[in-house]
C-alpha cells in the first residue's frame, strides 16, 4: 500500500566556502535548501538523489504544513511503497544554486555589498549546480549514490553527476533530457528573455521584489509553457473553445488556451523570482555535456555506471532524437545503457503527467541494482 511521507521540513545547509564556477568566478558563501525522505541504512548505500527541473525546488514530496493545498512536485513518485520507496531508500532532493527557493541565487545577499546580487550574480552552468550539491552530500557523510534521477534540467544534472563523480554514482536515470540544448530551445528562451527585458519594471534586474516585472515574467513563462505541451495535448485539453461576451467576433474574447496561458503566467509571478528565472534559463541554454572535453565521446567515456534513459514521442523541446544521440554514443563506447521511448501525448511534461507509463521500468532497474 503506497503512502505519503507526511509532514516534512525543508532544511538549509550553509557553506563558508567559495565555489569556483565554470566561468572562473568564485561564489560563496553558499546556502543549499534540501529535503530528505526515508532513512539511511547502516552502510549508507541506499541514497537516491532526485534532481529537479527548471523552476522546481527541494520540496519533492509530502507537505511542509498540514494546511498545504498540494504536496511536493513528485509526490506520486516518492513515499512508502511508491516508485522511490522510502521504506527502502533514503531520498534526497536539493534546490539548485541560482534558484530563489532557498539556495543561493540572485535574490541572495552579496556579502561584499550587503545588497541582493541581482545581475551581479555570476552566470552558472548545470555543472556548477552539481558541484554545489556535492558539498551537501559531503556534509551529510554520503559517498555513494544508488542513483541520480531527474527530468528535463534534472536529467542534465544526473548526467553531469555520472561524469564528474563516476566513483560515487552507481547509476543514473535521465528522463526527457538532452546532451546539449538545441538552437530551437535556446530561441524560445530568447523570446522569454526579451519579454522580461522589455518590461519597464525590470530595470536591468534592479526591480523591487514587491514590484517585479510581472507582465514580462508572465509572458516569458507562457512562452516556456507552450514548449512543455504538445499539439495533441492542447487539442485534448482546450480544443478551439472560445470565451467572449459578444460571440466569435469579440476582439478581446479569448480561446481557452489563451486563458490557460494567462492564468499560469500570472500565478507563476507569485511564486518565482524574475532574475532567478533568467539565470536558470541561461544555464539551460549553455548546457552541453561535452563542455571542456574534446568531444561528446570523450565526455561520455567518463561515465562508468549503468544508465536508464526515457524520452517521449510528443516532446518537441528535448526531442527523442536528442536523447538517442547520447544513448547511441554510450552504446558505441560499450557502456551499460537502456533506453525506452514512451508513447505519450503530453509533450515535455509527460514525465510529470503520466509517470505510470515509465515508472515500472524504473522499479525494475532499481531492483536489479539492489
**DSSP codes joined into one string, 144-190:** -BSEEEEETHHHHHHHHHHHH-TTTBS-EEEES--SB--HHHHHHHH
Indicate if 297 and 154 belong to the same structural domain: yes
pTM as predicted: 0.96
Q: Measure the N-to-C terminal CA separation of the chain; round to a whole number of Å.
A: 21
pLDDT at residue number 1: 54
- Please report the pLDDT score of residue 311 as a whole number: 98
* Catalytic pick among 315, 344, 345, 350: 315
What is the CATH number for 307? 3.40.50.1820
Q: Cα separation of 218 and 216, whole Å?
A: 5
Q: Is 349 marked as binding a ligand?
A: yes
Q: Is 138 annotated as a binding residue?
A: no
Question: Which of 87, 93, 39 lies closest to 61, judged by CA?
Answer: 93
User: Which domain range does residue 110 map to?
Assistant: 11-181+289-369
In tens digits, what is the pLDDT along the chain, a chain of 370 residues?
A: 578 999 999 999 999 999 999 999 999 999 999 999 999 999 999 999 999 999 999 999 999 999 999 999 999 999 999 999 999 999 999 999 999 999 999 999 999 999 999 999 999 999 999 999 999 999 999 999 999 999 999 999 999 999 999 999 999 999 999 999 999 999 999 999 999 999 999 999 999 999 999 999 999 999 999 999 999 999 999 999 887 766 677 788 888 999 999 988 889 999 999 999 999 999 999 999 999 999 999 999 999 999 999 999 999 999 999 999 999 999 999 999 999 999 999 999 999 999 999 999 999 999 998 7
Alpha-carbon span 81 to 222, nearest angstrom: 36
Q: Is 315 a catalytic residue?
A: yes
Are residues 139 and 217 both part of a single domain?
no
Residue 5 belongs to a domain: no
Residues 347 and 315 in one domain: yes
Residues 22 and 158 in one domain: yes
- 293 and 308 belong to one structural domain: yes
Residue 99 placed within a domain: yes
Number of independent structural domains in the chain: 2
For 270-310, where are the alpha helices, taking DSSP H only? 274-286, 296-300
Residue 370's pLDDT is 78
Q: With residue 342 as reference, give the H or E element that holds it.
A: strand 337-342
Instruction: Mark whether 267 is an active-site residue.
Output: no
Within a domain: 203: yes
Same domain, 225 and 261: yes
Same domain for 94 and 117: yes
Q: Which of 282, 312, 329 is the last residue of a domain?
A: 282
Say how far apart CA 207 and CA 216 lie, in whole Å. Answer: 12
Residue 268 lies in a domain: yes
Q: What 3-state DSSP class applies to 47?
A: strand
* Opening angle at CA 174, ends 169 and 177, nearest 5: 140
**φ, ψ of residue 37 in degrees (nearest 5):** -140, 135
Given this model, what pLDDT does residue 243 score?
A: 78
Cα within 13 Å of Cα(147), Cβ side:
25
Domain boundary among 256, 282, 308: 282
> Do 30 and 143 fall within a single domain?
yes
pLDDT at position 58: 98
pLDDT (tens digit, 9 = 90+) per residue, 202-250? 999 999 999 999 999 999 999 999 999 999 999 999 999 887 766 677 7
Q: Are residues 157 and 193 in the same domain?
A: no
Amino acid at each position: 500500500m503506497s503512502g505519503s511521507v507526511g509532514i516534512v521540513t525543508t532544511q538549509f545547509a550553509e557553506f563558508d566556502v567559495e565555489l569556483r564556477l565554470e566561468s572562473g568566478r568564485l561564489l560563496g558563501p553558499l546556502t543549499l535548501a534540501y529535503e530528505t525522505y526515508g532513512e539511511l541504512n547502516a552502510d549508507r548505500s541506499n541514497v537516491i538523489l532526485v534532481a529537479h527541473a527548471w523552476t522546481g525546488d527541494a520540496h519533492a514530496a509530502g507537505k511542509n504544513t498540514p494546511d498545504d493545498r498540494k504536496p511536493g512536485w513528485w509526490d506520486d513518485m516518492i513515499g512508502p511503497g511508491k516508485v522511490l520507496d522510502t521504506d527502502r531508500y533514503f531520498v534526497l532532493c536539493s534546490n539548485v544554486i541560482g534558484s530563489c527557493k532557498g539556495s543561493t541565487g540572485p535574490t541572495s545577499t552579496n556579502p561584499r555589498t550587503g545588497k541582493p546580487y541581482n545581475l551581479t550574480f555570476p552566470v552558472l552552468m548545470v555543472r556548477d549546480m552539481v558541484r554545489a550539491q556535492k558539498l551537501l552530500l559531503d556534509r551529510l557523510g554520503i559517498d555513494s549514490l544508488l542513483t541520480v534521477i531527474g527530468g528535463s534540467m534534472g536529467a542534465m544534472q544526473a548526467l553531469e553527476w555520472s561524469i564528474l563523480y563516476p566513483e560515487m554514482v552507481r547509476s543514473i536515470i535521465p528522463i526527457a533530457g538532452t546532451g546539449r540544448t538545441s538552437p530551437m530551445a535556446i530561441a524560445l528562451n530568447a523570446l522569454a528573455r526579451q519579454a522580461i527585458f522589455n518590461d519597464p519594471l525590470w530595470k536591468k534586474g534592479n526591480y523591487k521584489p514587491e514590484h517585479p516585472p510581472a507582465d514580462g515574467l508572465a509572458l516569458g513563462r507562457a512562452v516556456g509553457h507552450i514548449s512543455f505541451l504538445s499539439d495533441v495535448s492542447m487539442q485534448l485539453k482546450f480544443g478551439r473553445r472560445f470565451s467572449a461576451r459578444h460571440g466569435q467576433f469579440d476582439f478581446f474574447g479569448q480561446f481557452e488556451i489563451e486563458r490557460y496561458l494567462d492564468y499560469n503566467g500570472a500565478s507563476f509571478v507569485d511564486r518565482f523570482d524574475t532574475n532567478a528565472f533568467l539565470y536558470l534559463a541561461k544555464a539551460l541554454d549553455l548546457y552541453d555535456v561535452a563542455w571542456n572535453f574534446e568531444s561528446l565521446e570523450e565526455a561520455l567515456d567518463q561515465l562508468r555506471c549503468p544508465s536508464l534513459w526515457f524520452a517521449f514521442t510528443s516532446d518537441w523541446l528535448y526531442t527523442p532524437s536528442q536523447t538517442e544521440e547520447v544513448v547511441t554514443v554510450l552504446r558505441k563506447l560499450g557502456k551499460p545503457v537502456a533506453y525506452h521511448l514512451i508513447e505519450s501525448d503530453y509533450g515535455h511534461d509527460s514525465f510529470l503527467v503520466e509517470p505510470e507509463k515509465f515508472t515500472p521500468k524504473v522499479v525494475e532497474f532499481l531492483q536489479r541494482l539492489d
